[in-house]
Amino acid sequence: MRYFIEPGYVSLNKKGEELCGDRVETIYHDGTMTTVLADGMGSGVKANILSTLTSKIISTIMASGLSIQDCVETVAQTLPICKVRQVAYSTFTILQIGVTGDAYMVQFDNPLCVLLRNGKHYDYPVEVNVVDGKTIYETRMKVELGDVFVMFSDGVPHAGIGITMNLGWQQENVIKQLEEQYSPDDSAKSTAAKLADVANALYLGEPGDDTTVAVMKVREKQTVSIMFGPPSNSEDDIPVTKKFMETDGIKIVSGGTTSKIVSRYLGKEVRTCLDYIDPKIPPYGMMDGVDLVSEGVLTLGHVMEMSNMIVSQNNTDLSWLQKKDGASIIAKYLFEYATDVNFFVGRAMNPAHQNPNLPLDLSIKLKIVEVLSKNLELMGKRVNVEYH
């Protein structure tokens, strides 16, 4: 079986800092997803430089297949030395998971990564090694479908120190929280956001340290396809619809004319409902054979705005998951459910949209697809866009 490895992270800056001293790098190379979480010494600019160098060096070296010894040596020789403490220092956790399920993890001085298997804390094998005078924990294992690896900087177990708790949150309580908040449908990003949000609450909204959660989730491929707009040449209506209908997984039809084309092809009626949950977002509809029908540019415009919010590294707002309007439902399919997204974008002009007073013209539609697909890629999803 080939797995899909989904990364997602959230970083909260220490109160008053513009830059985060924690850094997460994710790269996909040759069938392996690598995530590096580095926490630079101190905070602010200096910590940011240390952790950026560390994570960049490690992700680049590891992705090209060199050993952990090479990594540690390179990092040690490259990092600038802190004048105050006379050392160059950044902690790091490296997690690599291949599509075939082989995982390799290296941990140095970060709180230990928590693995959730079937929603429960799972003790993974650890080998202790000393490299260059540094104690390194190494793990080699096979992952299982649904495994969730949660890495975090010490800002998480330290949450609330001296504010809400004498000793801070502490590792075992972090594990308890992860088990309690677990839902099998949560994406990597939502898992990270939920945990970071609790940590933030323990800090009373003013983190005393940079606080980062990075998650890798082992999933199977789940495809969502969106047909958005009618083809510019109406002779292509049927072939494009046929291709769209032949995709696996969830199918969303977005746009009035587009829904008519698909309705005609399938011989099924669109059933709309009148409920305006949010006056800004047109109501959605249903049709046998597809999973959702929506209005086009306005609804997907909202989805695009939501994607901008979600990819920002310090977002912990998950309230959109509870909303029932068309844009939020599409967002859930795209951001939470999908590992693979196909856009079938039609470039026909709608004469009614060529009105300069309406924000509907073709260039806006193309812009929405461009931004949305870029953001989906940032979320670690595989995106395929075809124009007709």
Partner 1 sequence: MEIYICVGSSCHLKGSYNIIHTFQELINQYDLKDKVELKASFCLGRCTDGVATKINGEFVDHVSPENAVAVFHEHVLKPLGME
Of 296, 332, 334, 339, the residue at the interface with partner 1 (CB under 8 A) is 296
**DSSP secondary structure code for residue 131 in this structure:** E
Q: Does 285 bind partner 1 (CB under 8 A)?
A: yes
- What span, in angstroms and rounded, lies between the C-alpha atoms of 91 and 50? 10
Asked if residue 230 lies in contact with residue 263, where contact means CB atoms within 8 angstroms, the answer is no
Binding mask of the shown chain, residues 217 to 256, with x at each position contacting partner 1 by CB under 8 A: --------------------------------------xx
Q: Which is nearer to partner 1, 153 or 299 (CB)?
A: 299
Q: Which is nearer to partner 1, 101 or 256 (CB)?
A: 256
Q: What are the angstrom distances between the C-alpha of 185 and each of 147, 190, 209, 212, 321?
A: 12, 10, 30, 22, 11
Residues 71-77: contacts with CB within 8 Å, 24+ apart?
71/106, 72/108, 72/131, 72/132, 72/134, 72/136, 73/132, 76/132
Closest CA to 54 of 66, 68, 72, 70: 72
Binding mask of the shown chain, residues 334 to 373, with x at each position contacting partner 1 by CB under 8 A: ----------------xxxx-x--xxx-------------
Q: Which is nearer to partner 1, 160 or 285 (CB)?
A: 285
- What span, in angstroms and rounded, lies between the C-alpha atoms of 187 and 78? 35
- Name the phi and psi angles at 92, rounded to 5: -155, 155
Of 270, 292, 348, 376, the residue at the interface with partner 1 (CB under 8 A) is 270
User: CB 297 → partner 1: shortest distance, Å?
Assistant: 5
Give, as ranges, the residues between 40 and 59 that touch partner 1 (CB under 8 A). none
Of 298, 303, 341, 383, the residue at the interface with partner 1 (CB under 8 A) is 298
Give me the residues that bind partner 1 (CB under 8 A), please: 255-257, 259-260, 270, 272-274, 276, 279, 282-283, 285, 293, 295-298, 350-353, 355, 358-360
